[in-house]
Amino acid sequence: MSIWYNHVRTRIRLRALTDNYALIRTRASNPAPVIKSDAYGHGIREVARAFFAAGARTMAAGTVGEAAVLKDTTPESEVLSLLGPIDAADYALVCEHDIIPFAGSTEQLLLLEEAAGKAGVPVRVALKFDTGMSRLGFSADEAGSVADTLDGLTHVRPVMACSHLATADDPAQDEYVQEQAQRFEGILHALHARGLGVQGSLANSGAIFGHPRTHHDLQRPGISLYGGNPFHGTSRAALGQGLRQGMDVVSRLVQVRTIPAGQSVSYGRTFTAEREMRIGIIAAGYADNYSRGLSSKAQMLVRGRRVDVLGRVCMQLTAVDLGPAPEAVVGDEVHMLGGQGANAISVEELAGWWGTISYEVFCLLGQNQREYVD
């Protein structure tokens, strides 16, 4: 949470998240919830406690610093750092908090050995391989040299080999998923042949629901935990049926006014009323991470009815057409995300208006002040 100065409130339903985790456990044998980036804007501490109470014993954060917070919150859990150590402080935190970092370079392994030697503790690592994302990790043909490096280390013990899928949520790119899966299987075979009894971890949310071949020993669900269907809008959308959105975002109606035909609304005069209109001014704008890109595209929920955003979203205010909600009055609660009933605004719908993905919607709107409602 970082936005403290506004009237926007992000409401989190932890029960929805743990219900999603329970659903995922019917599809995956050993899911480790991914709670990176402040639990996708849902709050790392609160979400970690909820998942631990629901039975999760391995969880993953992003940075090492975030992993340390996660370990402090649920000390009995095994904690992965998906980004792994970057600076000297990270290497020390790994040792102090018994974190299992992803390591995708020889330099990281050597620095972990040095830090572990100074701390006098062993360090378990997850070996990160790049099978097709072209981001972090050893290349697929480095498995042998990685084993050679590990042979010379005293304090570093590999317990897992990991990679990440680029297109698991896109049915049109199944072939690339299979290419990555085959490369990863080759990596595991090479490591096991060298006597490294590492577990395999490849599957993300899309793979959990759509690609059983990729499940291996441990799966890493992310967006699906928070109610995002990884196959939304595709031919496989039914695979994510039953996932529940855990975040609502609300503000309030601060002014109601009637404007005549021909009157423009907001900056730049991008909207002009064709008739007399009753409009509302909502206390939310791009400073609250409600994107300016939603100008004249999005809808909000007032008294359970959809109302259109009019003109440009301002820094802390947004205008809407109150025609569908004629009884609305100043002080009414307004949903920018979520709500009750058939008119509730889904994260995928808001992301579509925004021109982005559900991940960004959660991460950004989750920076507003949070309330836990169950």
DSSP string, 286-318: GGGT--GGGTTT-EEEETTEEEEEES---SS-E
**The pLDDT value given to residue 2:** 85
Q: Give the single-character DSSP code of 240.
A: G
Spatial CB neighbours of 185, under 8 Å, sequence gap ≥ 6: none
For residues 145-174, average pLDDT: 98
Measure CA 11 to chain center: 16
> According to the model, what pLDDT value does residue 239 have?
97
pLDDT tens per residue, range 128-140: 999 999 999 999 9
Q: Which of 315, 301, 231, 227 is nearest to 41 (CA)?
A: 227
Note the pLDDT tens digit of each residue in 217-268: 999 999 999 999 999 999 999 999 999 999 999 999 999 999 999 999 999 9
Class of domain 31-240: alpha beta
Domain residue ranges of the chain, discontinuous segments joined by +: 31-240, 247-372
Mean local confidence (pLDDT), 69-81: 98
Q: What is the DSSP letter of 238?
A: G
Q: Between the CA of residue 124 and those of 63, 97, 100, 101, 341, what are the distances in Å?
A: 16, 12, 5, 8, 47
Per-residue pLDDT for 1 more than 80? no
267 is catalytic: yes
Mean pLDDT value across residues 20-29:
98
User: In this prediction, what percent of the chain has a pLDDT beyond 90?
Assistant: 99
Question: What is the percent of the chain with per-residue pLDDT over 70, rounded to a whole number?
Answer: 100
DSSP sequence for 334-348: EEEEB-SSTTPBPHH
DSSP assignment of 140-201 equals: GGGHHHHHHHHHT-SSEEEEEEE---SSTT-GGGHHHHHHHHHHHHHHHHHHHHTT---EEE
**Reported CATH class of domain 247-372:** mainly beta
Across 122-151, average pLDDT: 97
Label residue 369 by pLDDT band (50, 70, 90).
Answer: very high
- Give one word for 37, left, alpha or beta, with left for phi > 0 and alpha for psi -120 to 50: left
Given the residues 21, 36, 71, 91, select the one marked as catalytic. 36
| Interatomic CA distance for residues 248 and 264, integer angstroms | 30
**31-240 matches 247-372 in fold:** no
- What angle do helix axes 106-119 and 88-97 make, rounded to 10 degrees? 60
Instruction: Give the angle 276-278-279 at the CA atoms, nearest 5°.
Output: 120
Per-residue confidence band for 374, with pLDDT thresholds at 50, 70 and 90 = confident
Tens of pLDDT, residue by residue over 300-311, are: 999 999 999 999
Other C-beta atoms lying within 10 Å of the C-beta of residue 258 = 11
- 125, pLDDT greater than 90: yes
Is the alpha carbon torsion for 232, 52, 11, 72 positive or negative? Answer: negative
CA distance 74 to 89: 21
Q: Which of 363, 316, 309, 355 is nearest to 336 (CA)?
A: 309
Q: So what's the pLDDT on residue 205?
A: 98
Non-local CB neighbours of 373 within 8 Å, separated by 6+ positions: 11, 12, 13
Residue bearing tokens 């050893």: 138
Is residue 206 over pLDDT 80?
yes
Reported as a single tens digit per residue, the pLDDT across 338-367 is 998 999 999 999 999 999 999 999 999 999
